Structure 1
Amino acid sequence: MSLNRNGAWIAGIALLVGGAGGYWVAGTRMSVAPEMSTAPSMNSPAERKALYWYDPMYPQQKFDKPGKSPFMDMQLVPQYASGSDDRATISVDSAVMQNLGMRVATVSRSVFQTSLDVSAIVAFNERDVAVTQARTPGFVERVYALAPGDVLKANAPLADILVPEWAAAQTEFLALKRIGDKGLLDAARQRLRLAGMPSALIAQVERGGKVQPYLTLTSPIGGVLQELNVRLGMSVAAGETLARVNGLSSVWLATAVPEAQAASIAVGQAVVARLPAFPGTSFRGKVSAILPETNADSRTVRVRVELPNPDLRLRPGLTAHVTLNQRSADSVLSVPSEAVIRTGRRSLVMLAEDAGRYRPVEVQTGQESAGKTEIIEGLEEGQKVVTSGQFLLDSEASLKGIVAGDGMGKMEGQP
């Protein structure tokens, strides 16, 4: 009786020692072992053909014959061909899956709504520029109280210019008007135009009958006075730039988009901008241009956004937070972003198969949005991928020399 009791005690110890070969998680042993086929092979390891040999501490390096590892003081381990479908898998018990909190998600199709947040600086709209030049030589008789940086309304006076040549031409025009010869009068009127006299001033001379040798320079548009190159008493030459005005009816936002997201930006794309200067207010605009040059230091692409500015509140130099939204035209394959393992050289997912088996699959990823990553290549709709605990499976696969294939089971290096 005592012997039986001791035998039972020894058997219990043997069971405990035998169970120590696995991982213990929350009181449950995790047995993660590489499976070289969906079903156990009927051949012994000696009868199976080795595909290659590897060092478990450096599994990415393959060797065509057995021997000692050049990396560690240990023998190389053979990797055998599978018995049925040439796929190396890892098997995990369902109870262990629950204890580890492993979750899976289905590869599905969805329409991507991309959203990118970047910083921006408000700048002048360089397309909304007006330049005032002298049409004829003259002298500055008056300069209005203005300076660069002043905000002007349209037709605001800038300076008065005395044009001596106009006095003689206008006198001749008025004399021909008194004679009443229509042909000569039309010729004289054309001469005034060619002398650079505005049509409004010619009509004023014809209507009032008085010589008007002064030209008042005005701002063609409303905006910010950028340049004012006139001073009292100075002479001006024909074609000389006297003033430059930049409009404020619309402004540009200068943004820098990372080159990895530049492909998702398109001209005409809707934009929402928020400025710290106007909390709680959103400004809506659109992408007007994607500049061709990429910044070599920051690896960013310059994107120009145009915003309406009807009340002239937006001034160059203000900072803004810009959200660029774009909806993809077609549905694309996607998985939760947390399912993607990025190694730096490639991207992997752990594909969940039947009977608790998993295998690494290399994928080509695209854009990311709302916690999802586009899958360009490597998976098919309806397959399942691991979204929690995949790093444990990937580590086990690396230690066992399991090489990532594609979603159809083709291993790396196979045609």
Structure 2
Amino acid sequence: MLYWYDPMVPQQKFDKPGKSPFMDMQLVPKYADEAPAGGVAVDPRVAQTLGVRTAVVEKQRIGASVEVPATVQLNERDVAIVQARATGFVQRVARLAPGDVVAPGAVIAELLVPEWAGAQQEFLAVRRTGDEALAAAARQRLVLLGMPAAVIQQVERSGQVQALALIHAPTGGLVQELMVRPGMTVSQGMSLARITGLSTVWVEASLPEAQTWAARVGQPVEVQLSAFPGETLRGKVTSVLPEANTETRTLRLRAELPNPQGRLRAGMFAQMRFGTQAEEALLVPTEAVIRTGQRALVYVVEQPGRFRPVQVQLGRELGDQLEVLQGLQPGQQVVASGQFLIDSEASMQGVLQRQASASAPAASAATAPAPLPAAALHEGVGRIVELSAQEVTLDHGAVPSLRWPPMEMGFKLAQPEVAKGFKVGDTVRFMFREGQDGYEVTRLEREQHQHGGAR
């Protein structure tokens, strides 16, 4: 036997058994042959008391399905701008307003174009001379003035000047802007209306970054709308936009749906669902993975009370499970909760430091500076009062390892991922250490039994 210790304050060692001065529990013996090489040992009775739970690494055949909220939007690729072909005066405007739907070829406005009248009179006069070359040149001038072919043909047939020009909608759809009114003077190239087609619509969804692996251009999607319960519409992904939202950390996914009857209206709420082909994947519970910022670790159960830290390479996030690409084998058992105790033991026994040293290249060992000793880890129980991406404020109980009384105190987060899934008001067990800029929390775990952390 090496010494006696309190599992809640493993850094403090005692030379004889008895009751812990920090907690209301007996000291636990530490034996020289407890931990296997590269592993850490924890008394099984202590592990059971502190709620250490394990899970089996499983290989499953999965076909991931992703469902995200979406909204219907107008197809901005199907837009027509109506412009004046010549300078003129607005004589009449159709009874339209923004938001109206027009058919293809519908009259938008009627213009009086004096310049056209003069050019047409010149053309008719030249044609009467019988000089075909001059007549062809005069006719070409009408084309260059922006006169539609139908108007030129009417002038040729009737021999009458047509100074009034009708402005038609080049396509059917929604009038989004109407910039022409009776009595206006318009110049050549001036925009008179903006029309968006309704034959197809976009359905846009915000996809979390962790799920973007599941989306690709051309992929079939199913869309269900609140307006049409029980009905499923089908389309394809047309684009995954290249810019992420910096506030929500999501990407915009766009699918295109046919809209032959015009039932789909911009602003409608929808649910978009798409999936991937089934394939085998090695899965562990998300809570089993410890993210340190530099690597991801899990504790593998060697035998009851014996654990070994293993560095893993992670893949996709599938609900409450993570895909493991490297580091584990099917059938292994990993610690799924209660890693505080094991983290404390590993830090005290120097397991993680020995692993890091062993993985470093031998060639650089001679030139690399000696590693600094790891900061002592402390733990406590408290309630989250404030929470941000960088800090957490805890109303916690006494911390015996530092002889702290109950208090409310702010801590930095070692990594933003430490607080993922937690919210203000949660009662948590937290592990922290002293860093260069004060105390920082390295791990949070939801406390199953509510403890009075606050004063």
Question: Is the shorter-chain TM-score for this pair beyond 0.5, marking a shared fold?
Answer: yes
RMSD, matched Cα = 4.1
CA spacing shift, 1:207–1:385, aligned 2, 3 Å: farther
* Counterpart check, 1:297 vs 2:247: yes
Match for residue 332 of structure 2 among 371, 384, 401: 384
2:421 corresponds to: none
**1:233-286 Cα distance to aligned partner (Å, 9 max, x none):** 221111211111011122122322222223433333322211111111112223
Q: Output the amino acid matched with 2:323.
A: E
Match for residue 316 of structure 2 among 364, 367, 377: 367
1:414 corresponds to: 358
Distance 1:269 1:54 in 2: 59
* Counterpart check, 1:306 vs 2:256: yes
* Counterpart check, 1:262 vs 2:212: yes
Distance 1:404 1:213 in 2: 94
* TM-score (normalizing by structure 1): 0.69
2:282 corresponds to: 334
Paired residues of 1:109 and 1:332 also in contact (CA < 8 A): yes
| Unmatched runs of 5 consecutive residues or more in structure 1 | 1-44
2:173 corresponds to: 223
Distance 1:228 1:84 in 2: 80
CA spacing shift, 1:215–1:366, aligned 2, 3 Å: same
2:8 corresponds to: 57
Distance 1:79 1:268 in 2: 62
Structure 1 segment 16-415 matched on structure 2, within 5 A? 56-57=7-8, 80=32, 86-88=38-40, 105=56, 107-108=58-59, 110=61, 112-327=62-277, 331=279, 333-335=281-283, 337=285, 340-343=287-290, 345=292, 349=298, 351=300, 359=308, 361-369=310-318, 373-380=322-329, 382-385=330-333, 390-391=336-337, 394=339, 397-398=342-343, 400-401=345-346, 411=355, 413-415=357-359
Distance 1:125 1:176 in 2: 48
SS state at 1:145 partner: coil
Aligned length: 344
CA spacing shift, 1:72–1:223, aligned 2, 3 Å: farther
- Name whichever of 275-284 and 202-211 sits farther off: 202-211
Distance 2:36 2:55 in 1: 25
CA spacing shift, 1:257–1:404, aligned 2, 3 Å: farther
SS state at 2:253 partner: strand
- Name whichever of 145-154 and 354-363 sits farther off: 354-363
Paired residues of 2:55 and 2:285 also in contact (CA < 8 A): no
* TM-score (normalizing by structure 2): 0.63
Paired residues of 1:351 and 1:383 also in contact (CA < 8 A): no
- Name whichever of 345-354 and 132-141 sits farther off: 345-354
Q: How far has the Cα of 1:308 moved from its partner?
A: 2.0
Bigger relative contact order, structure 1 or 2, given CA contacts below 8 A and separation 6+? 1
SS state at 1:414 partner: helix
Distance 1:274 1:411 in 2: 51
Paired residues of 2:40 and 2:351 also in contact (CA < 8 A): no
CA spacing shift, 1:76–1:183, aligned 2, 3 Å: farther
| Unmatched runs of 5 consecutive residues or more in structure 2 | 360-455
SS state at 1:278 partner: coil
Q: How far has the Cα of 1:184 moved from its partner?
A: 1.8
Paired residues of 2:203 and 2:256 also in contact (CA < 8 A): yes
1:28 corresponds to: none
